[in-house]
Amino acid sequence: MIKVGINGYGTIGKRVAEAVTLQDDMKIVGIVKTKPTYELRGALDANFPIFASTKSKIPFFEKYGVKVSGTTEDLVADADIIIDCTPGKLGVNNMDMYKSAGTKAIWQGGEKHAPIGISFNSLTNYSESFNQDFVRVVSCNTTGLSRTLYPVLQEYGIDNVQAVMVRRSGDPKDSNRGPINSIEPVLGVPSHHGPDVQTVISNLNIQTMAVKVPTTIMHVHCIIAELEKEPNVEKIIKLWEETPRVDLIDGYLKNEDSKVSNLPGTAEIMELARDSLYTRGDLNQIAVWRDGVHAFGNKLYYYQAIHQESDVVPENIDAIRAMCGLEEDNMKSIMKTNASLGIN
């Protein structure tokens, strides 16, 4: 049983912790927080040991009745592997602490690839992380692009991909980053997403752009892929239907000569996730609009939606298995994780 510690119990950390509790080959031995805020509720209800980020923070926790089991260093010393979900660009500063303790660590997509050296996607490059000490799970957008482009690359070959990321402005709980009264393009090209995809699919030629819009619930990708062979839309859809963690959805339903609105946008997709009784109303899968898939000559056009708070959660579970040598076969790990999380 692999002992897992969570350093940073926020949007991703709390979701990964809950996912770990559903596995039969790993367990949570503690979580780290910087302050005793409301986000601790889930950890307290689950009886996770609570660790303060530093010794000086312990009295703050005790003042509000939170029993503290130690500091970050104590948890790192006890765990086999740490999932570092601290704020982006800060987590890599913990590397020396993990090295000194001889503890494996997984970072999230907010960190750069270079300092860590290995980036992870369950479908595309699982084996590169087998028995490794330090790995980075790529971001929500990179995960989404990789899941749908990789099977197309394998089946058809890809000459070039051009993709636009239509990004949410903040997460639902981010009152300081909520909906902006603006549409903000990322003026540098490529946006970081294209180079990031290449850390897990090295032979993919991809250029990306991004724009931030006033919503909090999902990202949308608009993708044009120029393939080596002329694509058949029905076969592409079937390929994605057979790809784990990809869901085909219908934006509109045909009713004789008319169309009926079904899942035309991200609001309806998230409502479906809530109605499907997924934990927290999350959607670990990438939603691809079936009626938005088109082909003209060798070019494939499609749209997909990414739930930024949760699509990387199963990736973290698979990364633990790979790094700790629990399972060599990526598909076996993916299926095991999917079954535990109720992913169809």
Report the catalytic residues: 140
CA-angle at 167, arms to 164 and 168, nearest 5°: 165
Buried b (16+ CB within 10 A) or exposed e, 116-144: bebbbbbbbbbebbeebbbbbbbbbbbbb
Q: How far apart are CA 225 and CA 298, in angstroms?
A: 8
Give the 3-state secondary structure of residue 92.
helix
Strands (DSSP E) found in the chain? 2-7, 26-33, 50-52, 81-84, 104-107, 119-120, 134-137, 158-168, 184-186, 206-213, 219-227, 246-249, 252-255, 258-261, 286-289, 294-296, 299-306
Q: How far apart are CA 165 and CA 240, in angstroms?
A: 20
Question: Residue 314 CA to chain centroid, in angstroms?
Answer: 7
Among 117, 78, 118, 112, smallest CA distance to 98 is for: 78
Task: Let me know: does 216 contact 168? Beta carbons within 8 Å.
Answer: yes
